[in-house]
Chains A and B, each alone.
Chain A
């Protein structure tokens, strides 16, 4: 009730001058508090205005609180998030070979680059590329031969070719997306075609010489 009193009679209320003026001797009074403080021209805050606003606000806050679970139930559930990181043993991958694995239900390419492929990637001036990045920026220090990227073309999400033996690797010897003809080089960088950015490098770390943790 104190809040109601504040709204109707004290200087805290908006339009305080009008409210105070109207709270004179003529105004109806309940429990010592003026009930109606609106003036004849419709100004001022009435007790009923406060009740209306309080009611609608209360219902609004309640509706917003209920909306939280209704919206959040659509986000990734705990069992999906539990599989958010994977560990892969890369010991068997020889230089020049690559494997496809699955991480967060998306293909991941793990490629053991040959020295020639590394040299070819480093030969290019990164500054002139569509998405300027060096091979070193896309690999771990000391493990420059391990190129780990998502197998998801950054154009519209197809899986590029070039990871499995015998697949077309594109004009730059890396990956080639058959959907709309994007060519990636041996560092997984976009060189030709519609894709806007390089193949995404996920967060990864070598937890031993041969085991890499992705995610």
Chain B
């Protein structure tokens, strides 16, 4: 679907016309990311990050496929094959560093993309499905990144695999058999490495598939915008091409510069030196930390140190280990419920004074603290801080957001996007809202 004023695809050549009549692929592209997709005229640079995430996925797939040409998933050979890539393969050092840092940059742009969604209320009706698919992509990314990190079979790879699969052993009754099933053994070994490689190769294509659904769902209501006010007329939009292809292209240039600078000048900045030590199943590194993008969740995991028990009886209802694991998974899974936890009809944080305060002075500092604490050794002060952070995280989404949605008095919204941008009222007649679109603003 699109707005009624969307431009129609007109083949420029007889060849394209011939193709379009038989397989309307050019039309699909034109309507998806071409002039046939009307987009609100007021998007800021935060709206670049969806496209950037797509580019990051392409970089990961391309570099990953060539790395797989040189890598072998063997507990004796994996580490050496990575070193072989670094030292012997033509430009192998570049391809591997690009893949390694590409993962970090993928998470950077996705986190900014999620931040954008959280602040501007992009998860609200009628865009809930886009959000649900987005959280799904995020979960798939985490699984893919974890399995990729295991492949070099360094110390952090091995012990990361040990710890992460250990989460599953916290589940009562079936936990330990489940963990052994996942690993194909009692500890990470050849079977685990082989299946991680297989799945690590598969998952990016699953992600690409869910991205297609994500973009498809996006094109039903169209893109959100910084005011959160729905598109009301043709004046409110501009065609995606050339306006946002140019804007995204500029953002892409900045992104690539940052990516290339880190890849060339600080390729190990975001990694951990212990992963350059071959895996040793008999010696745990002094301090295991996950990759930086998992740190907030790792902090939540570590926050639970006491069993949940009935006081004075000694009956343990939920052991601390299981609590931590449940909380860690719960911290992500609760994002699936966000569209129904935040019931305010106003989308953009700009017009929500109370929401904005808790967002900037509550959620963002909380995430910063959790990220920092996630990397710290489990000393008392860090454990306490992680407990505070985890408590606020859950309170923010489960208690604070539903309450402020009810009590908050939003600021007056502009009548239209055009009015917000130009100060002049929308000229054209308002279009009828689609059934999916609630009468927001």
Is the beta-carbon distance between B88 and A77 smaller than 8 angstroms?
yes
Task: Tell me if B94 counts as interface (CB < 8 A to partner A).
Answer: yes
Give every chain B residue within 8 A of A78 (Cβ-Cβ): 87-90
Complexed CA–CA distance, A69 and B62 (Å): 12
Give every chain A residue within 8 A of B90 (Cβ-Cβ): 69, 72-75, 77-78
Give every chain A residue within 8 A of B94 (Cβ-Cβ): 69
Give every chain A residue within 8 A of B160 (Cβ-Cβ): none
Task: Tell me if B92 counts as interface (CB < 8 A to partner A).
Answer: yes
Complexed CA–CA distance, A146 and B113 (Å): 70
- The count of chain B contact residues (Cβ–Cβ below 8 Å) is 14
Task: Tell me if A68 counts as interface (CB < 8 A to partner B).
Answer: yes
Is the beta-carbon distance between A74 and B69 smaller than 8 angstroms?
yes
Is the beta-carbon distance between B88 and A70 smaller than 8 angstroms?
no
Task: Tell me if A41 counts as interface (CB < 8 A to partner B).
Answer: no
Number of A-B contacts defined by CB within 8 Å: 38
Is the beta-carbon distance between B66 and A70 smaller than 8 angstroms?
yes
Is the beta-carbon distance between B89 and A73 smaller than 8 angstroms?
yes
Complexed CA–CA distance, A80 and B91 (Å): 15
Give every chain A residue within 8 A of B66 (Cβ-Cβ): 70, 73-74
Give every chain B residue within 8 A of A72 (Cβ-Cβ): 90-91
Complexed CA–CA distance, A74 and B90 (Å): 7
- The count of chain A contact residues (Cβ–Cβ below 8 Å) is 12
Give every chain A residue within 8 A of B249 (Cβ-Cβ): 55
A interface SS class: helix
Task: Tell me if B95 counts as interface (CB < 8 A to partner A).
Answer: yes
Complexed CA–CA distance, A70 and B87 (Å): 16
Q: What does the 1/0 interface line of A76-101 toward B look like (CB < 8 Å)?
A: 01111000000000000000000000
Q: How far is the CB of B42 from chain A (nearest CB, A)?
A: 23
Task: Tell me if B409 counts as interface (CB < 8 A to partner A).
Answer: no
Complexed CA–CA distance, A74 and B91 (Å): 10
Q: What does the 1/0 interface line of B83-118 toward A look like (CB < 8 Å)?
A: 010011111101100000000000000000000000
Give every chain B residue within 8 A of A68 (Cβ-Cβ): 91
- On A, residues with C-beta under 8 Å from B are 55, 68-70, 72-75, 77-80
Q: Considering the complex of A and B, which 10 residue pairs feature the smallest CB-CB distances, nearest first?
A: A69-B91, A78-B88, A77-B88, A79-B88, A72-B90, A77-B89, A73-B90, A69-B94, A73-B91, A73-B66
Q: List 16 A-B contacts (CB under 8 A).
A: A55-B249, A69-B90, A69-B94, A70-B66, A72-B90, A72-B91, A73-B69, A73-B89, A74-B66, A74-B69, A74-B90, A75-B90, A77-B70, A77-B84, A78-B89, A79-B88
What would 19 more interface pairs be, CB under 8 Å, given A69-B91, A70-B95, A80-B88?
A69-B90, A69-B95, A70-B62, A70-B66, A70-B91, A72-B90, A73-B69, A73-B89, A73-B90, A73-B91, A73-B92, A73-B95, A74-B66, A75-B90, A77-B84, A78-B88, A78-B89, A78-B90, A79-B84
